[in-house]
Chain A
């Protein structure tokens, strides 16, 4: 595997379900990100982790719970979601540093549908 991978690619869940999204980066980076991409809205940053520590939480509802056990893996745990949470969830990684930090590499995304 190369680059940034995300599983599953598609997920359908009910509002009472609990599921998790997984992201893995094979680039040796130490920063990872979760984004939400909804139709007709700009890409929204959700969370940022630098060296496994959360450094940004963009006022995300608590029904989204991120976990970063190491620099290569990032999870997004989902519970009691709402239909408006249906979106494409993108993971990205970068290498901290003055300039490299901002060159983010994206995974293909998980298309989430909440029924």
Chain B
């Protein structure tokens, strides 16, 4: 069965520092992968997605993610974090292209220190 694991529940980084959020997936074929961000009291916003092709994908707000099939990973990165990036981040994998069902990881809460 498909699954998504985000090993880090909570991460704190200093403003201006680099960031990497980990995501590991379990899926039999080539996965469709997403990263979403959720600010407090808000819904989820799509940051970026991977369907096929170039394994390094660029997203909004300066984020990027790299798909590594050998490691079953899709880690999210940002070279310099801003205080406004403090939020919860979710990795997701498509479970069914027919129905659009997504499976989400448990999320990583990012705290940014001034």
Contact = CB atoms under 8 A, between A and B. Distances in A.
A90 interface: yes
Contacts of A90: 43-44
A16 B106 CA distance: 31
Given A106-B43, A107-B43, A42 B105 contact: yes
Contacts of A111: 41
Contacts, number: 68
Q: How large is the interface on A (under 10, 10 to 19, 20 to 34, 35 or more residues)?
A: 20 to 34
Contacts of B94: 102
A48 B44 contact: no
A104 B45 contact: no
B103 to A, nearest CB: 8
B51 to A, nearest CB: 5
Nearest to A44: B104
B100 A108 contact: no
Contact of A102 (B4, B34, B90, B105): B34
A103 B97 contact: no
A99 B52 CA distance: 10
Nearest to B33: A102
Contacts of B34: 102-103
Given A42-B104, A43-B104, A103 B46 contact: yes
Contact of A104 (B42, B100, B105, B107): B100
B63 interface: no
14 contacts: A31-B99, A43-B90, A43-B107, A45-B101, A45-B102, A55-B99, A56-B99, A90-B44, A92-B43, A98-B97, A99-B51, A104-B102, A107-B43, A108-B42
Interface of A: 4, 6, 31, 33, 40-43, 45, 48, 50, 55-56, 90, 92, 94, 96, 98-99, 101-109, 111
Given A4-B43, A99-B32, A104-B44, 4 more contacts: A40-B106, A42-B105, A42-B107, A90-B44
